Structures are given as structure tokens and as C-alpha cells.
Amino acid sequence: MNRRPVDYSLYLVTDRGLSRGRPTPEIVRAAVRGGVTCVQLREKTRSTREFIAEARAVRDFLKWRGVPLIINDRVDVALAVGADGVHLGQGDLPLAEARAVLGESKLIGISAESLRDAVAAESAGADYLGVSPIFATPTKTDTAAPLGIEGLRAIRRQVKLPLVAIGGLNAGNAAAVIGGGADGVAVVSAIVAADDPERAARELARHIAQARRTCA
């Protein structure tokens, strides 16, 4: 297995519906310039061909900057574009089947909405967990009740995998999430919908870096 260490500290999840008409690759480029360390490309409405074309454009930019590209849900798209991995929800392709297709060199992240989900995903061989929702969020309405910082801490005590917190996160609460045991802060609207995605990312990265120094 040949896999480089991953910096999950500022994890961008794209959402074309929040980008105010700006192309996703444009948002990604600005966010990475601002300090985003990992990108999950999420696309629910485009055709497979359109998704692949967009993923390739994003991959070509990220590759030379050492920033991993994770594809949401679509194992086929991840394979087609040579992405670094996939992120799967509880209702998506089972982890074992995804691993059989992708091999050991690719990252597989799993969404966990409870301690039970988190422990099961770790046992099944996930590489990292997307713990959600930490706080209430308008981005996704089909999620469980918010875990809060205490729910995040409970998962941290039981699970050794990297934890990427998501759900209602922004520059105002990113530090609290790192203090609660998260290895990374995942955001959608805080960057994608921002007037200046680069500046928004830079502000988030600053708060995360300060929190990590405090927790060290």
C-alpha cells in the first residue's frame, strides 16, 4: 500500500447549489489558495460524464498542490478520474465492496452520525470518519439530531481513526470542534457560499491552526 499521510484539517465539501453560479473548479482553486487541505467533490444532479469532466478539472489542479481529491458516493467516478478516494454515507455502497473495487491504496471515508456508526466503520476498515452533524445545518436536512461537542468527544474517546467534523461549522466554532477532538473541520457553505472563498478559507485555516497549537 502506497499512501501518503493526509491533512484533514480544513476539508472542503463542494455544493454547486450554494456557489451562486460560480463554477466548482473556481471555488476549489480559491479555497485551496486560502488553505483548504482536502477536497470532497459532491455532485448529485449532473450526469456521470459531466461529473467526470468536472472531477478531472479539479484533480488536475489539486494534484500539483498535494491536496487529496475525495469523490462523494461515486466509486465509478473516483476510479475514472484517479481520485485519492471516496466518501460514503450509511446508505451508500458498503465499505467492503468499495474496498474490493478501489484497493488498499485509496482512501475510504465513512459518514458517522452516532458512536455506533463510528465504531462499526472503524471495525470495517474505514480510513477516516465524517462525524455529523455537529450542529444543525441547512445544507443537509436528512441527518440525525446534532451531536454537539460532547457527542464528538464521546466518539473521540472510543475511536482512533481521524475524525472530520461537519455540520454547521464556520470560523466562529471551528476552534471548539478541534478542542473537542476533531482532526479536521469540514465546511460547505462557509466557503462555497462566501463572497470571497479564498478569504473565508484563510480565516478558517487561521482559527484551526490556533486551536491545534492550543491543544498540542
Give per-residue pLDDT as tens, 68-96.
999 999 999 999 999 999 999 999 999 99
Helix (H) or strand (E) run with residue 74 in it = none
**Is residue 184 packed enough to be buried (19+ CB in 10 Å), middle (13-18) or exposed (0-12)?**
buried
List domains and CATH numbers for the chain. 10-215 (3.20.20.70)
Q: Given 9, 16, 29, 42, which residue is catalytic?
A: 42
Q: Which residues of the chain have pLDDT under 50?
A: none
- Which pLDDT value is given to residue 85? 98
The pLDDT value given to residue 113 = 95
Look at strands 69-72 and 38-41 and give their pairing: parallel
Report which DSSP code applies to 161.
S
Of 139, 88, 85, the residue nearest 112 (C-alpha): 88
Give yes or no for a contact between 141 and 122, defined as CB atoms under 8 angstroms apart.
no
Q: Which of 20, 44, 63, 140 is catalytic?
A: 140
- Cβ 32 vs Cβ 10: under 8 Å: no
Dihedrals φ, ψ of 16, to 5°? -60, -30
- Residue 215, class by beta-carbon neighbours within 10 Å (0-12 exposed, 13-18 middle, 19+ buried)? exposed
Distances (CA, A) of 139 to 62, 114, 130: 25, 19, 15
User: Residues with Cβ < 8 Å from 97, sequence gap 6 or more?
Assistant: none
Beta-carbon count within 10 A of 8 CB: 23
Instruction: Judge whether 20 counts as a catalytic residue.
Output: no
Q: Residue 87 carries which DSSP code?
A: E
Reading the block at residue 213, the C-alpha cell is 497549537
Model pLDDT, residue 3:
66
Active-site residue (options: 111, 132, 189, 202)? 111
Is 44 in the active site? no
pLDDT score, position 136: 86
**Is 67 strand, coil or helix?**
coil
Model pTM? Answer: 0.95
Rounded CA-CA distance 69/65 in Å is 11
Q: What is the pLDDT of residue 209?
A: 96
Look up residue 194 and give its amino acid: A
Residue 59 a catalytic site member: no
pLDDT recorded at residue 2: 55
